A and B are shown apart, each in its own frame.
Chain A
Amino acid sequence: MKINLRVWRQKNPEIDGKMVDYQLDDVSEDMSFLEMLDVLNESLSVSGEEPVAFDHDCREGICGSCGVVINGIAHGPEVTTTCQLHMRSFADGDTIDVEPWRSGSFPVVKDLVVDRSSFDRIIQAGGYVSAPTGTAPDAHATPVPKKDADHAFDAATCIGCGACVAACPNGSAMLFTAAKITHLGLLPQGQPERDSRVIGMVDQHDAEGFGGCTQIGECTAACPKGIPLHTISRLNKDLLGALARGEG
């Protein structure tokens, strides 16, 4: 299939970038989106041009490294990661716009690569359980109701790709933050630090310059892991509760 690409090219964080047109004549519909970009980069290298920089690692949809905005939608038309999106989702002759995640808190490093270390700092602000290490406890030592375990696991599947921020009209990272709050807040191991966690993570979220949530739901629609919107409601409830209790 023939594909017309419009790709965001930006040399470095200081210089403003622009959309550049490329044409690929021999794309297989079985290629993943990243393989299609690999093909583009091979031809660019052959002709002596700078290849398009993009983040990727596992290419199995589980690491959260890859992610670009395709035709205005984070991770493109299918609800999956960019690496698991295949060219059969497009038609022969389509024009495809490829852009990096855009957010004040995700500065562009080069082309399609953005700096997502703001996410790391939100996790550092409380997205963990302080537990002494040692031998693994018996699996049945701390009983967890099945329903809580399932919901905690659903939230724990967040891979931190940043699609929620890219999709949000407010540039909010609430879905990412809320996924971790929900994951740990539903489990007994997460209880001792529950109040200080939500306060610390929300403070860091705001300090990084992310916007606020207006419950529009674009984040959850773009999320490759289907993190539900109600995790954000849980975060809000936890924060208001922590403030009322005066803890943290």
Chain B
Amino acid sequence: MAIKTLSPRAQASRSTVALKALMAVSGLIMVTYLLIHMYGNLKFFQGQERFDSYLEGLRNILYPYLPHGGALWILRVVLLGAVIAHAYSAVALWRRARTASARQGAKRYHSNQNRRGVQRSYASFTLRWGGIIILAFIVFHILHFTAGVLHPGGDTDSKYQAMVNSFSIWYVTLAYVVAILAVGFHLRHGLWSAFATLGANTSTKRRRNLNIFATVLAVVIAGGFLVPPLSIAIFGYGS
């Protein structure tokens, strides 16, 4: 038996509940960013000049109080912190869940009946794998649009032109559609779970309303991100 060296309070601040709160807060920071990112993406429909000058404007936020691009770097540090906190708590909780369920999760019963439980959603049992897909996508996405290391369809200084070039290629669009749908499902359960974890679920009625809110926000965010690439890929917008 392990010897207790931590005070009860210190132990509680490392508990599954505290880890889950860390996951919820870091997740909500990323969702807030996603909403702003989505809003920015939709400026694509204002045309090449205005879209590119909007992106250039982002570098001048709070200039000259911050250096050129300073605000974006602060944002990147905050987001990197959120990703690390989110992934750390996910791995720690996943390992605990594995041990608690005899290393088999929901598949620990021999019965082949009711494998998917009584009421749990597709979004909830794909959360962990969905998260890994999203993480891989983020790496790809940063190499693609942020760093410009990858430039399918041709290199260009204009982000507007880079979007048109990329999403004119069917497999690039497909990769983005898959990733955005994964984000949508992740948010569908994740948002509800974050609010409930932070204590917002106070009644059966509130549980229903929080779930409706999570579904609506997930659809809005996924939809908002899907519109520009699909407009380019299907309707040839911008070319």
B61 close to A (CB within 8 Å): no
Q: Give 4 A-B pairs besides A73-B118, A99-B111, A236-B198 with Cβ atoms closer than 8 angstroms.
A: A170-B105, A206-B96, A215-B193, A218-B119
Are the CB atoms of A200 and B196 closer together than 8 Å? no
Are the CB atoms of B106 and A169 closer together than 8 Å? yes
For chain B, the count of residues having a C-beta within 8 Å of the partner chain is 51
Are the CB atoms of A199 and B9 closer together than 8 Å? yes
A113 close to B (CB within 8 Å): no
Are the CB atoms of A206 and B16 closer together than 8 Å? yes
Are the CB atoms of A228 and B17 closer together than 8 Å? no
User: Measured between C-beta atoms, what is the minimum distance from A184 to chain B in Å?
Assistant: 17
When C-beta atoms are compared, the residue in chain B nearest to A178 turns out to be: B17
Partner-contacting stretch, out of A22-30, A58-66, A133-141, A239-247: A239-247
Are the CB atoms of A240 and B115 closer together than 8 Å? no
Give 8 closest A-B pairs by Cβ, nearest first: A237-B199, A171-B100, A212-B16, A211-B100, A97-B111, A233-B201, A171-B101, A170-B97
User: Measured between C-beta atoms, what is the minimum distance from B74 to chain A in Å?
Assistant: 26
Are the CB atoms of A202 and B17 closer together than 8 Å? yes
Are the CB atoms of B196 and A232 closer together than 8 Å? yes
A143 to B234, CA, bound (A): 67
A230 to B199, CA, bound (A): 8
User: Measured between C-beta atoms, what is the minimum distance from B203 to chain A in Å?
Assistant: 6
Chain A, interface size category, equals 35 or more
A240 to B108, CA, bound (A): 32
User: Measured between C-beta atoms, what is the minimum distance from A208 to chain B in Å?
Assistant: 9
Are the CB atoms of A213 and B12 closer together than 8 Å? no
Interface centre among B20, B101, B120, B207 (most CB of A within 10 A): B101
Enumerate chain A residues within 8 angstroms of B18, measured Cβ to Cβ.
Answer: 239-240, 243
Partner of A105, one of B100, B105, B109: B100
A248 to B203, CA, bound (A): 27
B139 close to A (CB within 8 Å): no
A-to-B contact residues, CB < 8 Å: 6, 8, 19, 69, 71-73, 97, 99, 102-105, 167-172, 174, 196, 198-200, 202-203, 205-207, 209-218, 221-222, 228-230, 232-237, 239-240, 242-243, 246, 248
Are the CB atoms of A103 and B102 closer together than 8 Å? yes
User: Measured between C-beta atoms, what is the minimum distance from B12 to chain A in Å?
Assistant: 4
User: Measured between C-beta atoms, what is the minimum distance from B80 to chain A in Å?
Assistant: 24
A248 to B9, CA, bound (A): 7
B37 close to A (CB within 8 Å): no
A19 to B113, CA, bound (A): 14
Interface CB pairs A-B, < 8 A, 24: A72-B111, A73-B117, A97-B109, A97-B110, A97-B112, A102-B109, A169-B101, A171-B97, A172-B16, A199-B11, A202-B16, A206-B15, A211-B93, A215-B189, A215-B192, A215-B197, A217-B120, A230-B196, A232-B196, A233-B201, A236-B198, A243-B9, A248-B8, A248-B12
User: Measured between C-beta atoms, what is the minimum distance from B43 to chain A in Å?
Assistant: 35
A215 to B117, CA, bound (A): 14
B206 close to A (CB within 8 Å): yes
Enumerate chain B residues within 8 angstroms of A239, measured Cβ to Cβ.
Answer: 12, 15, 17-18
Are the CB atoms of B101 and A212 closer together than 8 Å? no
When C-beta atoms are compared, the residue in chain B nearest to A202 turns out to be: B15
Are the CB atoms of B207 and A229 closer together than 8 Å? yes
Enumerate chain B residues within 8 angstroms of A209, measured Cβ to Cβ.
Answer: 96, 99-100
